[in-house]
Amino acid sequence: MATSASACLSKVVKQRYMELPQGDKVQAMYIWIDGTGEGLRCKTRTLDSEPKSIEDLPEWNFDGSSTYQSEGSNSDMYLIPAAMFRDPFRRDPNKLVLCEVMKYNHKPTETNLRLACNKVMEMVKDQHPWFGMEQEYTILGTDGHPFGWPSNGFPGPQGPYYCGVGADKAYGRDIVEAHYKACLYAGVDICGTNAEVMPAQWEFQVGPTEGIKMGDHLWVARFILHRVCEDFGVVASFDPKPIQGNWNGAGCHTNFSTKEMREEGGLKAIEESIERLGKRHHYHIRAYDPKGGLDNARRLTGRHETSNIHEFSAGVANRGASIRIPRSVGQEQKGYFEDRRPSANCDPYAVTEALIRTCLLAEEGEEPTEY
C-alpha cells in the first residue's frame, strides 16, 4: 500500500522543535472550506497573545484563485473567524480557527453555506434544535487503494468487520484512536466511534450539538482527521461510494430533535416532521451532497442499508428507510429521528439548514424560502 513520503520523515526529530518554548506568542491556524465544497484549506499566523474569544481574532485573507474560489485578476478573499478550538497538533495555547469565506465585496462565496444556515438557526433558536451526525469515512493509501486490502484482490466479504476486533477485522485503528483523542483535546463534541461494515471504513459521531455548532464541530472534526491521516501517510476519503460492487457506501446519518420532540408526547411532533420531509424529498436529496444528488445516486440504491434515492420511506428501526425512528423512541413516545440520506461528503450546514426549513419553518416546494 502506498503511503506519503512525508510520513517517512522522522517524527522524533520534529518533536525536538515542537517542544521549543514560544514565549507569549500564539500560533492560530485558520481553516476554511474551498471552492469544491468538500476540500479544506489552512494557513497559520502568529498572534501576540492567546485569544479568549472569536472577537480577539483578526480577519485575514488569501488567494482565492488557487482554491477554486476566484479569478486571478481579482483573487483576494477574506477569512472571517467563526469558531475557535484548541490545537491538538501544536497544543495549548495555540488555536484552530474555523472561518467563513467572503468575496472582495464581502458577500459570501458559493461554498460559504454557514452564513445562511446561521440565519435560519437564529430564527428557531427558541425550539433548541439538536443534531447528531454520524460521519463515515474510508482510509485509503495515497494510491487510492483501501488501507489493508490485498494489493491485487479483495478482503473477505462483509460480515465480520462492523465493530470488529482483531488485526484481520479492524484496519487502521491507530488512526481512529489518535483522531478521537485529538478531537476531545480540541473541544469538538465527538461522542463515539466504531468500525463500519466495509473493511477500512470507520465512523465517528459528533453531537448532540445545538444549532450552528453542529456544522462547526463536524467540519473541524473532519479537518483533524485529515491532519491525523497526513501524519500517518494515508488519506481519509468521504466519497459516498469509494468501492463499487458488493460493498457498503459511506453516509453521514443525521439525528434531529427539538425541545418539543424530546418532551412527553414528542412522537407527534416527530411524525409531523417526517410527513413534511416526505413531501420535500427531492429538495433534501439536492441538499444532501455537494453535487446536488449525483454523488448520493451511487450510494442510495436500496441496497447495503440504504433507501432508494427516488423514493421516500420511513419506519421504526428500519435501516433501509430514508428516515429511521429508533425503537426506543417508538416505545417512549418521544426523542428524535434519524435521516439516513445525507452522503459522507455532505456539507453539514446545508443538511441542518434543510431540516430546519422543512421541519420547523414548514417550507414547501423545491426551493428554499427567502427571509
pLDDT tens per residue, range 191-237: 999 999 999 999 999 999 999 999 999 999 999 999 999 999 999 99
- Does 128 have pLDDT greater than 90? yes
In contact, 117 and 215? CB cutoff 8 Å: yes
pTM of the model: 0.97
The per-residue DSSP string of 168-203 comes to TT---HHHHHHHHHHHHHHT--EEEEEE-SSTTEEE
- Taking residue 145's Cβ as centre, other Cβ atoms within 10 Å add up to 16
Q: What percent of the chain has pLDDT over 90?
A: 94
CA count, 13 A, side-chain hemisphere, 69: 32
Does the structure show a pLDDT above 80 at 363?
yes
Cell of 336: 428524535
Beta-strand runs (E) in 34-128: 40-47, 60-63, 76-86, 95-102
Average pLDDT of the residues in 119-129: 98
Integer CA distances (angstroms), 9 to 12, 21, 89, 140, 328, in order: 9, 23, 16, 20, 50
pLDDT at 219: 98
- Number of CB atoms found within 10 A of residue 318's CB: 16
Q: Is 233 exposed, middle or buried (0-12, 13-18, 19+ CB in 10 A)?
A: middle
Read off the pLDDT of residues 253-281 as tens digits, 9 standing for 90 and up.
999 999 999 999 999 999 999 999 999 99
Dihedral class, residue 76 (left if φ above 0, else alpha if ψ from -120 to 50, else beta): beta
- pLDDT band, residue 152 (cuts 50/70/90): confident
CA 247 → CA 1, 95, 200, 321, 327, distances in Å?
A: 20, 39, 11, 18, 26
Q: How confident is residue 1, by pLDDT bands cut at 50, 70 and 90?
A: confident
Angle (deg, nearest 10), helices 348-355 and 114-123: 30
47-58 pLDDT tens trace: 999 999 999 999
Q: pLDDT of 160-178, one tens digit each?
A: 999 999 999 999 999 999 9
Contact 195/209 with Cβ under 8 angstroms?
A: no
Query: Helices in the chain by DSSP H: which ranges?
Result: 11-18, 114-123, 173-186, 213-232, 259-262, 267-278, 281-287, 294-297, 327-332, 348-355
Averaged pLDDT of the chain: 96
